[in-house]
Amino acid sequence: MTNFQAQKRCRRHALPGLGLTLGFSLLYLGLVVLIPFSALFLKTATGGWLHFWETVTSPRVVASYRVSFGISLVAALVNGVFGVIAAWVLVRYRFPGRRILDAIVDLPFALPTAVAGIALTALYAPNDWIGSWLKPLGIQVAFTRIGIFVALTFIGLPFVVRTVQPVIQDLVAEVEEAAACLGANRWHTFRRVIFPALLPSILTGVTLAYGRAVGEYGSVVFISGNLPFKTEITPLMIITKLEQYDYSGAAAIGFVMLVASFVILIVSNGLQSWNNKRHGIS
Amino acid sequence: MACASSLHLRRSSLPLRATAESPVAKAVLIGITLVFLGLFLLLPLVVVFQEAFSKGAAAFLHALRDPYTLSAIRLTLLVAAIVVPLNTVFGLAAAWSLTRFRFGGRSFLITLIDLPLWVSPVIGGLIYVLVFGAQGWFGPWLREHDIRIIFAVPGIVLATVFVTFPFVARGLIPLMEAQGIKEEEAALTLGANGWQIFRRVTLPKIKWGLLYGVILCNARAMGEFGAVSVVSGHIRGKTTTMPLQIEILYNEYQFAAAFAVASLLALLAIITLILKTHAEWRAERQLREATR
Query: Do B201 and B184 contact (CB within 8 A), yes or no?
Result: yes
Q: Give the rounded percent of residues in chain B with a pLDDT score beyond 70.
A: 93
pLDDT at B4 over 60: no
Phi-psi region of B113 (alpha: psi -120 to 50; beta: other; left: phi over 0): alpha
pLDDT at A151 over 90: yes
Show residues of chain A in contact with B255, CB under 8 Å: 122
Per residue in B81-131, pLDDT (tens digit) is 999 999 999 999 999 999 988 888 888 898 899 899 889 999 999 999 999
Please tell me which residue of chain A has the smallest CA distance to B128: A36
CB contact under 8 A, A35 and B18: no
Q: Does the beta carbon of A272 lie under 8 angstroms from any beta carbon of chain B?
A: no
Q: Does the beta carbon of A32 lie under 8 angstroms from any beta carbon of chain B?
A: yes
Query: Do A104 and B42 contact (CB within 8 A), yes or no?
Result: yes
Our CA-based measurement puts residue B233 at a distance from the nearest CA of chain A, in whole angstroms, of: 10
Show residues of chain A in contact with B234, CB under 8 Å: none
Our CA-based measurement puts residue A278 at a distance from the nearest CA of chain B, in whole angstroms, of: 20
Query: Average pLDDT in the B178-202 region?
Result: 90
Q: Using the Cα atoms of residue A168, residue A171, residue A176 and residue A179 in order, give the sign of their dihedral.
A: negative
Q: Does the beta carbon of A275 lie under 8 angstroms from any beta carbon of chain B?
A: no
User: How does the average pLDDT of chain B come out, rounded?
Assistant: 89
Question: Which is higher by pLDDT, B226 or B287?
Answer: B226
Query: How many CA atoms lie less than 13 Å away from B244 in the CB half-sphere?
Result: 28
pLDDT at B3 over 70: no
Q: Quick one: pLDDT band at residue A102, thresholds 50, 70, 90?
A: very high
Query: Average pLDDT in the A190-196 region?
Result: 88
CB contact under 8 A, B130 and A33: no
pTM of the model: 0.90
CB contact under 8 A, A105 and B37: yes
Query: How many CA atoms lie less than 13 Å away from A151 in the CB half-sphere?
Result: 38
Q: Which of A14, A111, A239 sits opposite B230 (nearest CB)?
A: A239
Question: Can you give the pLDDT at residue A187?
Answer: 85
Question: Can you give the pLDDT at residue B8?
Answer: 46
Q: Quick one: pLDDT band at residue B292, thresholds 50, 70, 90?
A: low
Q: Quick one: pLDDT band at residue B13, thresholds 50, 70, 90?
A: very low
Cα B209 to Cα B280: distance, rounded to the nearest angstrom: 7
Question: Can you give the pLDDT at residue A276?
Answer: 77
Question: Which is higher by pLDDT, A139 or B275?
Answer: B275
Q: Quick one: pLDDT band at residue A279, thresholds 50, 70, 90?
A: low
Phi-psi region of B45 (alpha: psi -120 to 50; beta: other; left: phi over 0): alpha
Query: Average pLDDT in the A76-92 region?
Result: 95
Question: Can you give the pLDDT at residue B7?
Answer: 45
Our CA-based measurement puts residue A110 at a distance from the nearest CA of chain B, in whole angstroms, of: 5
Residue length of chain B: 292
Mutate: best of A9, A11, A27, A32, partner B, most B CBs <10 A: A32
Query: Do B225 and B120 contact (CB within 8 A), yes or no?
Result: no
User: How does the average pLDDT of chain A come out, rounded?
Assistant: 88
Cα B83 to Cα B211: distance, rounded to the nearest angstrom: 15
pLDDT at B46 over 50: yes
Query: Average pLDDT in the A164-187 region?
Result: 86
Question: Can you give the pLDDT at residue B17?
Answer: 62
Question: Can you give the pLDDT at residue A36?
Answer: 93
Q: Which of B233, B122, B154, B141 is nearest to A40 (CA)?
A: B122
Query: Average pLDDT in the B265-281 region?
Result: 93
Question: Can you give the pLDDT at residue A214?
Answer: 95
Question: Can you give the pLDDT at residue B285?
Answer: 85
CA distances (Å), A60 to each of A55, B175, B258, in order? Answer: 9, 46, 31
Our CA-based measurement puts residue A151 at a distance from the nearest CA of chain B, in whole angstroms, of: 9
Show residues of chain B in contact with A85, CB under 8 Å: 29, 32-33, 36
Cα B102 to Cα A175: distance, rounded to the nearest angstrom: 39
Query: Average pLDDT in the A9-28 region?
Result: 80
Question: Can you give the pLDDT at residue A5?
Answer: 47
Cα A44 to Cα A67: distance, rounded to the nearest angstrom: 23
Structural domains in chain A, CATH included, are 49-281 (1.10.3720.10)
Query: Average pLDDT in the B61-87 region?
Result: 96
Show residues of chain A in contact with B94, CB under 8 Å: 21, 25, 28
The interface predicted TM-score of the complex, written ipTM, equals: 0.89
Q: Does the beta carbon of A100 lie under 8 angstroms from any beta carbon of chain B?
A: no
Show residues of chain B in contact with A110, CB under 8 Å: 216, 219, 268-270, 272-273, 276
Residue B21 DSSP code? -
Question: Can you give the pLDDT at residue A9?
Answer: 47
Question: Can you give the pLDDT at residue B249?
Answer: 95
Angle between helices B255-291 and B67-100 (to 10 degrees): 20
pLDDT at A227 over 70: yes
Our CA-based measurement puts residue A179 at a distance from the nearest CA of chain B, in whole angstroms, of: 9
Per residue in B204-248, pLDDT (tens digit) is 999 999 999 999 999 999 999 999 999 998 888 899 999 999 999
Show residues of chain A in contact with B32, CB under 8 Å: 82, 85, 89
Q: Quick one: pLDDT band at residue A123, thresholds 50, 70, 90?
A: very high
Per residue in B137-185, pLDDT (tens digit) is 888 899 899 999 999 999 999 999 999 999 999 999 989 988 888 889 9
Question: Can you give the pLDDT at residue A112?
Answer: 96
Question: Can you give the pLDDT at residue A280?
Answer: 59
